[in-house]
């Protein structure tokens, strides 16, 4: 069991790949009937592997059990049995689903994928910051439309609690995103005016980031004041219980409820304090080293007509990330250029392309 958590957290493997590895070595992992994806999900989500007993993970609604948000669970103060993994490792495994990029866990296409998506792992929803997954739907006669959809589900209590204002559905067409990325790269990465555009854009971007941080800081501090008020109210009620004439069973039940809620509020306070500490870290005063752009060639129409595989390699080289805002139907695109970006290979490919009549990026290296 510990190896499954290691693969998920330290190895950053997806559940399908973990399942494949378990089934590939039945001598070491011999469950009856073989491993299924649902078996691995159940193991990774079970908090009892931490040694603690956990209550209140679900609640019956209309006769059926429904999962409750993790912040409403009740953990025993101390471990009740031997732990398989630490609580920290278990927590990391719970966050792995949102962070897992679904890139192939080994060379070659994933055996469980029926198709590949050019922007796989690169599109996130601005409303919840979760990775959007690819899908297809029918278009015109004989045509299919590739799109990316946010996994948020309003009917899921955990999703609704974390992002109560999330739109019902968030999806965007792949061709629209690819067009925006292609135009952005052509203008701001490979275009002749890229340095001036970066210099002009950065102050506005820096100001917007600062404004968002200030707004979030104010919101969190307001919430801390509300937590103080709630805890004062709970403390007052607990003090009143001392002189109450209520039956002992009633007093015990009320005290249990108060302590549980007080514990939840303190956990929320700790999370807010941690977030405020991160928000207090100053933003950098400059956009890095703009001179790195000078090492890149200028290439008009850099991605026009490029095959999907070559587009993916260029997106990988610049770690392209797209943040989609459905309310404004806008996408924020980020390209990262570092000293480890394969600039020399890009320059060599540009020279080969310039000498070839086959079209843009026809000689882009497959190892870029």
Phi, then psi, of 140 in degrees rounded to 5: -70, 175
**Count of CA atoms in the C-beta half-sphere (13 A) of 12:** 9
pTM beyond 0.75, yes or no: no
The segment with the largest mean pLDDT, out of 10-14, 176-180, 263-267, is: 176-180
Cβ count near 96 (within 10 Å): 19
- What is the C-alpha separation between 182 and 333, in angstroms, rounded? 10
pLDDT score of 116: 73
Residue 27 in this model has a pLDDT that exceeds 80:
no
Considering all CA atoms of the chain, what is the largest pairwise distance in Å, rounded to the nearest integer? Answer: 93
Beta bridge partners of residue 152, listed in sequence order:
none
Question: Residue 8: is it exposed, middle or buried by C-beta count within 10 angstroms (0-12/13-18/19+)?
Answer: buried
Q: Within 13 Å and on the Cβ side, how many CA atoms surround 84?
A: 13
Helices (H) and strands (E) in the chain, counts: 10, 10
Q: Which of 53-57, 107-111, 180-184, 349-353 has the lowest mean pLDDT?
A: 107-111
| 171-173, strands of its sheet edge to edge | 133-138, 144-149, 171-173
Grade residue 36 by pLDDT with cuts at 50, 70 and 90.
confident
Judging by beta carbons within 10 Å of its beta carbon (0-12, 13-18, 19+), is residue 77 exposed, middle or buried? exposed
CA distance 112 to 130: 22
Among 20-29, 266-275, 289-298, which range has the highest average pLDDT? 266-275
3-class DSSP assignment, residue 115: coil
Residue spans of alpha helices (H) in the chain: 2-9, 15-24, 37-45, 87-99, 157-162, 174-188, 194-242, 248-279, 308-317, 343-354
Q: What distance lies between CA 254 and its chain's CA centroid? A: 39
Residue 13 has pLDDT above 90, yes or no: no
3-state DSSP call for residue 192?
coil
- Residue (of 306, 280, 92, 62) closest to 178 by Cα position: 306
Residue 123: per-residue pLDDT:
93
Rounded distance between C-alpha atoms, residue 235 and residue 218, angstroms: 26
Q: Are 4 and 92 in contact (CB under 8 A)?
A: no
């Amino acid at each position: 069991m510990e190896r499954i958590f290691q693969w998920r957290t330290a190895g950053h493997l997806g559940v399908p790949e973990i399942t494949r590895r378990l089934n590939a070595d039945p001598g070491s992992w011999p469950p009856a009937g073989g491993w299924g994806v649902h078996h691995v999900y159940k193991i990774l989500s079970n908090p009892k592997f931490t040694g603690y007993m956990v209550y209140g993970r679900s609640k019956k609604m209309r006769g059926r059990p429904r999962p409750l948000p993790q912040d409403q669970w009740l953990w025993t103060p101390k471990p009740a049995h031997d732990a398989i993994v630490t609580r920290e490792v278990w927590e990391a495994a719970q966050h792995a689903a949102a962070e897992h990029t679904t890139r192939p866990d080994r060379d070659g296409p994933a055996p469980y994928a029926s198709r590949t998506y050019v922007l796989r792992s690169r599109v996130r929803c601005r409303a919840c910051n979760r990775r959007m997954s690819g899908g297809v739907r029918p278009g015109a006669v004989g045509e299919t439309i590739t799109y990316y959809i946010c996994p948020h589900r309003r009917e899921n209590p955990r999703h609704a609690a974390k992002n109560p204002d999330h739109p019902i559905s968030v999806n965007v067409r792949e061709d629209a995103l690819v067009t925006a990325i292609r135009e952005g790269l052509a203008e701001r990465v490979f275009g002749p005016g890229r340095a001036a555009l970066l210099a002009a854009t950065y102050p506005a971007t820096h100001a917007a980031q600062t404004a968002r941080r200030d707004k979030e800081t104010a919101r969190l501090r307001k919430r801390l004041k509300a937590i103080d008020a709630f805890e004062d109210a709970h403390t007052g009620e607990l003090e009143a219980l001392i002189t109450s004439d209520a039956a002992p069973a009633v007093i015990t039940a009320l005290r249990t409820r108060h302590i549980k809620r007080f514990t939840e509020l303190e956990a929320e306070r700790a999370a807010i304090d941690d977030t405020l500490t991160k928000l207090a870290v100053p933003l950098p005063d400059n956009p890095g080293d703009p001179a790195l752009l000078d090492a890149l060639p200028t290439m008009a129409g850099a991605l026009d007509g490029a095959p999907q595989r070559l587009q993916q390699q260029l997106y990988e080289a610049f770690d392209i990330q797209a943040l989609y805002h459905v309310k404004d139907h806008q996408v924020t695109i980020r390209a990262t250029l570092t000293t480890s970006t394969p600039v020399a290979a890009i320059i060599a490919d540009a020279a080969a392309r310039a000498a070839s009549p086959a079209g843009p990026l026809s000689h882009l290296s497959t190892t870029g």
